[in-house]
Amino acid sequence: MATRRALSRETSILIDDMLQGNARALARLITIVEEDDEESYQVLKHISPSFNAHRVGVTGPPGAGKSTLVNRLTTFARQNELRVGIICADPSSPFSGGAVLGDRVRMTQHYMDEGVHIRSMSTRGSLGGLPSTVHGIIKLMDASGKDLILVETVGVGQMELDVMENVDTVVVALVPEAGDDIQAMKAGLMEIADIFAVNKADRPGAESLVAGIRSMLDLVCQSNDWMIPVLATQAENNIGVGELYEQICHHRKTTIETGAFSERRARQRHDEFTAILQKMVTRQFMDTISADDRLAGFVSQMNKGEISPYAAAEEIFDTITRKLL
């Protein structure tokens, strides 16, 4: 088995500085974790999140005004003297792999606020609306002392479900002109919402969309502990966002009281553990294959079409596990 690298002195100093509230250290550690390599694992292994931060995901189709909603929600949080972390998932550049949009473009109102840390992240090919390393970034922001972490997904539509695995409260933003077919969306975004926000509600069709969502919710079994609210908002004009902020706070309070909050966190930790273990095993196996001519031979045979991928994987798996056991 490969020897695991120890945490470097420089990275250790960065962690100490971040825990003291140093925004520059937090930014540098986020960059390390985004690389998703051995050093990023060491960073995440050595930090201790407070688990006090409320993690809120804002998701929905493109053009729903998610960035404006996040911007307005941040204003309300800062008025309540909360320290805010914002993670904006952006489409990946086909050339550099980086985020197409940037945090300076997103939220100039809060960029110079020392109580707000904004980070744009590339999805790097993820189809679920968030980059795979987002859970690590959330942990860093939590450990750095943020009270509220807002996670804005990229806006890929119905398959944007990663957010549910990383946050405590999911806000699904929809818009009237999207012509959202409620029945078609039930199996995707519509089933992960803790709160619905029909944004740009000054446009035609808003009232009927709100009514349609409420009718749909009446047909499904909702928990008696939390009845999903459907709110009309105009984030651009700061209308209805205060009520949305209150519902977000109310959802946290309700889920903590009922135990649903801790259950969701436990489920997320287990899913994270499984994902980390899968990555580690895959990397170990690939390193072992590269260093073993016999195992590499199975891969070569597969590439030539002499054996199937299933047969190659079975031979390699059996050989490696026999050695380990």
Per-residue pLDDT averaged across 287-303, rounded? 94
Strands (DSSP E) contained in 108-226 are 116-122, 148-152, 169-174, 195-198
The count of C-alpha atoms lying within 13 angstroms of the C-alpha of 98, restricted to the half-sphere facing its C-beta, is: 7
Q: What is the pLDDT of residue 3?
A: 45
A 10 A CB-CB count for 225 gives 11
Tens-digit pLDDT profile for residues 108-139: 678 788 999 999 887 654 444 466 788 899 99
DSSP symbol at 158 = T
Q: What is the pLDDT of residue 217?
A: 85
Tens-digit pLDDT profile for residues 223-254: 678 999 999 999 999 999 999 999 999 999 99
What pairs with residue 90 in β-bridges?
122
What pairs with residue 121 in β-bridges?
89
d(CA 234, CA 216): 23
- In sequence order, the 6+-apart residues with CB closer than 8 A to the CB of 173 are 58, 59, 60, 64, 65, 66, 69, 197, 198, 199
Domains and CATH numbers, the chain: 1-47 (no CATH), 48-258 (3.40.50.300), 270-324 (no CATH)
Lowest mean pLDDT among 30-34, 94-98, 134-138, 170-174: 94-98
d(CA 230, CA 195): 6
Q: Where do we find the tokens 């998703």?
A: 36
Q: How far is CA 210 from CA 69, 229, 272, 314, 315, in A?
A: 17, 10, 35, 52, 56
β 230-232/116-122 pair status: unpaired
